[in-house]
Structure 1
């Protein structure tokens, strides 16, 4: 039976045809008449309308050609409902912008497993690529450009994945959309080597788990990487700069590892910035049991902002450099930000070494009661460098004249721990279970 099955498979393979297409009518006809696994090679030209792919096919732009698929501003340009479909080398444009209907350049419906969407150029108002209730798709090396004239929230996402298992999203360049990559109720995604600019969030997770995201770059965004109501996400070796609101957001997210990322120049340029609207290197809001290790937070309005129950996280060996405020903590606890005798590097700290030349045994308080006073009454900020405030800070540290709350780093580093740096080649992997304690919390390195 196995030999006979192999012969049938081989027979089916050799029957697949390469079919050359050069008009819209021919494309519509071949989408209906072609046999499974045939290749449709599209010549240069304009193919106008909405196209349905309901069998395994390859739809490929001919080499060195300009193949334009134009949806005339209505619906989705290409809708796929079959597995094993490949779409590559096309210029897809002018699809609709009905978010309820998920109008997309390429829309992958339930059953479109193992799709390969690669090397295309998208330009339109709605979603670039959307997928719903499927698995094992690859979205690689596409360029997706939204409509910069639309209000950000009126645009579709560059890549929208809902209830998708094990997708790979890599090497894409995405701009002027809502979110670059939006993943909801997904699992085991790998998102790497992408570039995002001029949009809301580079990557946005909602109710997702066991994902890995690395080697991405976000510039000129509202936020870099937003992890919301998700868990077991490994966010590493990503970079974000010129963000308006935050570089990294952990919102109601747990059991995740945030390591070796670089978040710089998160700055709100407004003259009178509202309380809470400052640019943040990392914003931890109601998140717990996460590990934040070996990251760079530099030249932001606030290096790290923590609020609304974000106390239960481990934070050490990060580099906080030249932030206008290193820490803003809105809470009533006294939190220790060191682990196994190693804290964080603070450019604002001056101290002396102990037995370890790289670690000070003089505790550092980057966030104290006077800091909280200035946050509550920002009109008094001009006093922060005054002699009386410096005296009060010294007295508070020496004599504990008020009840202690805020952040303490008992072992601040005198030198940065290491450079994070973007990685260029790495075997993709999801953080393994062995990096978590039996209680589900990362125990660190």
Structure 2
């Protein structure tokens, strides 16, 4: 009798402990499977449309056959996850709600959904693509997330919205027609790599974050590329932005960050002007301190580098400032030196010489003169900018190199440009 009881007990344990793979073919069977699933189970969704709002409360793996789709019928969130270590893979998710106040999302991650993996899904909807709060280590990889291009950009949800999240990874995703591609608020130690962004507000938007890294991301046709706001210790490197309207990189009250080997080109605002300050800027440094800005390219934009409101305490060197309508805009009361350890920046308009052939210009470069400041302060004088008298005054000032008490000076201008593709990623 004792042996029989032991055998029965072992059989019961084997049934409880073994993970199951369950195939579901319609909405009713998916709802039942989610309610009955145990940790470790796998749900395989057949090629079908599963309508409604679904909840995941166990640590399971959900994967779809080709064509498997969740359709939220334009209400609420399509998939809400509250369990840790859930995997969602290979689904088409569509038609969730657009109420941003209630966080309508294709995938809604609530507290407890730590270490989830969301991989290889296609999400198309009006609200947030993926929304998560109070989480640890979510991984969002190889997804396509699209908003609604017919909606005003600020009324769309973000592609990925994370708040009070530690160590998220967002990698190899494609974002289009959302508000911000990736929005991070009060996040630490994020890793955002190899994503593609197009036709949205900002590619990556940091707010109150710390210890983040973004590398090898591509943004095209956006309002702004990479917005670092009220954050610190961000390593932004080897990213690209082109065809932006407002800025390529924004440092707004951001400190102790390293901006390296990024490219911002063709940043132009069709209705902007340098005099009014709303032109396209390769990089805009606003009240940001103690940042290292090196090996970047700012080119073919309205303004290459713009600095305002206490952005003086930053180190800039080895950057390439090429063929911008206005290379630098700085209106301040400090004389700034943009070089480091005998290495300055490359300026496409530099007209000095290098007699000792050491690769460094023999004359200091000053990208702005006193007349630039005059026109910025008094935009109504813009009509005089190309007059013969103004051109003569500019030429005289550059020939005599007068001692300046305010403005930008590069005492070691580089004679040759180095492509950011040749610069190793390195470490902080």
TM-score, reference length from structure 1 = 0.89
Q: 1:394 to 1:93 in 2, by over 3 A?
A: same
Q: 1:282 to 1:31 in 2, by over 3 A?
A: same
Alpha-carbon distance, 1:146 to partner: 0.3
Question: Which residue does the alignment assign to 1:50?
Answer: 53
Does the 8 Å contact 2:275/2:376 carry over to 1? no
Unaligned runs of 5+ in 1: 1-6, 436-445
Alpha-carbon distance, 1:271 to partner: 7.3
Instruction: Measure the CA separation in 1 of the matches of 2:130 and 2:263.
Output: 28
Mark the structure with the bigger radius of gyration.
2
Q: Over residues 129-156 of structure 1, what are the superposed CA-to-partner deviations in whole Å (9 max), with x where a residue is unaligned?
A: 0111111111001001101111111110
Is 1:36 the equivalent of 2:39? yes
Bigger CA drift: 354-363 or 148-157?
Answer: 354-363
Question: Which residue does the alignment assign to 1:320?
Answer: 321
Does the 8 Å contact 2:90/2:121 carry over to 1? yes
Does the 8 Å contact 2:74/2:97 carry over to 1? yes
Instruction: Measure the CA separation in 2 of the matches of 1:271 and 1:42.
Output: 51
Alpha-carbon distance, 1:372 to partner: 1.0
Question: Which residue does the alignment assign to 1:440?
Answer: none
Question: Which residue does the alignment assign to 2:109?
Answer: 108
Unaligned runs of 5+ in 2: 1-9
Bigger CA drift: 397-406 or 145-154?
Answer: 397-406
Instruction: Measure the CA separation in 2 of the matches of 1:273 and 1:359.
Output: 30
Alpha-carbon distance, 1:228 to partner: 0.3
Please state whether the residue corresponding to 2:33 is helix, strand or coil. helix
Instruction: Measure the CA separation in 1 of the matches of 2:350 and 2:113.
Output: 55
Is 1:178 the equivalent of 2:190? no
1:183-262 correspondence runs (5 A): 183-262=184-263
Question: Which residue does the alignment assign to 1:338?
Answer: 339
Question: How many residues are aligned here?
Answer: 417
Instruction: Measure the CA separation in 2 of the matches of 1:113 and 1:149.
Output: 34
Instruction: Measure the CA separation in 1 of the matches of 2:369 and 2:247.
Output: 22
Q: 1:238 to 1:283 in 2, by over 3 A?
A: same
Does the 8 Å contact 2:79/2:107 carry over to 1? yes
Instruction: Measure the CA separation in 2 of the matches of 1:390 and 1:18.
Output: 77
Please state whether the residue corresponding to 1:364 is helix, strand or coil. coil
Alpha-carbon distance, 1:254 to partner: 0.5
TM-score, reference length from structure 2 = 0.93
Alpha-carbon distance, 1:91 to partner: 0.6
Q: Over residues 301-345 of structure 1, what are the superposed CA-to-partner deviations in whole Å (9 max), with x where a residue is unaligned?
A: 000000000000000110011100000012111100011111110
Q: Over residues 339-398 of structure 1, what are the superposed CA-to-partner deviations in whole Å (9 max), with x where a residue is unaligned?
A: 111111000111111434310120111022211112233444454344422332344346
Question: Which residue does the alignment assign to 1:3?
Answer: none
Q: 1:307 to 1:273 in 2, by over 3 A?
A: closer
CA RMSD of the aligned region, Å?
2.2
Instruction: Measure the CA separation in 1 of the matches of 2:242 and 2:271.
Output: 17
Instruction: Measure the CA separation in 1 of the matches of 2:113 and 2:47.
Output: 27
Question: Which residue does the alignment assign to 1:165?
Answer: 166
Question: Which residue does the alignment assign to 1:61?
Answer: 64
Does the 8 Å contact 1:83/1:115 carry over to 2? yes
Runs of 4+ in 1 over 3 A off after TM superposition: 10-14, 271-274, 377-387, 394-403
Bigger CA drift: 21-30 or 398-407?
Answer: 398-407
Does the 8 Å contact 1:207/1:229 carry over to 2? yes
